[in-house]
Amino acid sequence: MSEIKSLPESLSNVHIHFVGIKGTGMAALVEIFFHNGAIITGSDVSERFYTDEILEKLGLKALPFSEKNITDQIEYVVYSSAYKLDTNPDLKEAVRRGIPCLLYTEALGSYSSRAYSCGICGVHGKTTTTGLTGTILKEIPDFPSQILAGSIINSFGKTCTFTSKNVKDKSIPKEFEITNAPFNSVFVAETCEYQRHFMSFCPQKILLTSVESDHQDYYPTYEDIREAFVDYICKLPPNGDLIYCADDSGAVETALIAYNKRPDINLIPYGENAGGDYQLTFGKVENEKNKFYLNLFGKEELYLKVPGKHDVRDAAGAVALVCQMLRYFGKHPETFVKNIIKGLESFSGGKRRSEIVGSFKTKNGNDVLVIDDYGHHPTAIKTTLEGYREFYKGRKIIVDFMSHTYSRTQSLLKEFAQSTQSADIIILNKIYSSARENAADFNITGKTLYEETVKCNSKDKVFYYEESTDALDFVRSLIEEPVSSQYPDGYILVTMGAGDNWKLGTKLIESYK
């Protein structure tokens, strides 16, 4: 097989076959390549995913895996890490023919090398921050930009990417033309730390939201994952910008270690502890909107209509990145404040990121809101639920949480047990395993987490159902209870985690139709 690990400078009319095309990152990359004129085919399993809708909008349909998919016309193959070169029929045939095969991360990295690319990374918040950045950039006139997020973003038109019109039609304004960038655009992408995937990316700027212990199957210690982020930051070019959250101790520590290695890097903090232009001041939560201020814009009020201080911090980071990009092009960010405000106000989250999946009234007339969220790390769970508690003061919160991976649950057991305390009722399920680990190697189950969580809460607040959908009748009995004076607005059911417990919310909504 050819050892080429890069794409051609122009993708126009280049035939690329995607193996595992329905993966979120893969479908997003398909969108980006499609808008750059590539000819796309792809293969995957027959099960329907939400990404099928993204592909169908482009006129694409996933083929069943088969060596027959690899025709003489195919010039490159991009494949998901879920599939192997020596076992998948498409990939085996591509190898036999000597067609260059790139992992998703390698293809993303190759593309990033041909634009002014900015990587958004962190243990928490990278998808939301990427979505916010793209939603703001949509409102900046004539700014040639492409954005790739790790989930569907509502304000992108319910896709994972956004490509500005002037990138599609090549009408790039002179002041935004970028030297040595054939695609003549800014490219902003969510970049993942797992297995050091982000090391394939070629960043001109990096935004770092947070660093703490995670992915214990690959990073056994906090120092291991911190070192990966440091190495990624050190990929910045001379005098490159590192925009980091000054309110996250891991991000601060990582930034300083990277700076000691690379003192030419520009450290640009954002957050309550930032000082400078991106000092964040929280305002009131009013009419289900978060009000906040940044030093750069003085007393100008900024608004975000998604709940939680953590999302406001993500918004501050997104604004900082956009402003630093504007400055790179010789623009004054203050002149774009109205555009930035409009972008922030039009952001409504994304799929499985505080996603409101439905609402209804019970037989007794109680109002019920169903929210699904991907939070699967104790810090994300805690901050997200605290945000709901502040945002929806008049609603009783029921959370169903399914922990993801035995290694993470075992390493962070006490933290998980304490993370759901802001909810009024806590329902726990089995551990949602990963193909990369063997349950028999661990002495922990969902029941273990339940027992530990009971220690942190009253026993009548915490309940266990092995399968999330087994809790349907229990949840129905809860929401049919008369509302109290403490929670006059009704109920919220939050399905939280990286597993499949979102099915509980779906079944609950269906049962009231």
Shortest CA distance to 376 belongs to which of 508, 496, 243? 496
**Which positions ≥6 away from 510 have C-beta within 8 Å?**
none
Beta bridge partners of 400: 427, 495
Q: Note the Cα 86 to chain centre separation in Å.
A: 31
- Give CA–CA dist 255/208, Å, rounded: 9
H/E stretch holding 92 reads: helix 89-97
Task: Specify whether the CB–CB gap between 138 and 163 falls below 8 A.
Answer: no
pLDDT in tens, the chain (513 residues): 334 478 988 899 999 999 999 988 899 999 999 988 899 999 999 888 888 888 999 999 999 999 999 999 999 999 998 899 999 999 999 999 999 999 999 999 999 988 899 999 999 889 999 999 999 999 998 888 899 998 888 888 878 888 887 776 666 666 666 554 444 679 999 999 888 989 999 999 999 999 988 887 889 999 999 999 999 999 999 999 999 999 999 999 999 999 999 999 999 999 999 999 999 999 888 777 889 999 999 999 999 988 778 889 999 999 999 999 999 988 899 999 999 999 999 998 877 777 888 899 999 899 999 999 888 889 889 988 998 898 888 999 999 999 988 888 998 999 999 999 999 999 999 998 876 677 778 889 999 999 999 999 887 899 999 999 999 999 999 999 999 999 999 999 999 998 889 999 999 999 998
Nearest-angstrom CA–CA distance, 309 and 112: 31
Tokens of 83: 């599939």
| Pair of tokens at residue 1 | 């097989």
Phi, psi (degrees; rounded to nearest 5) at 448: -60, -45
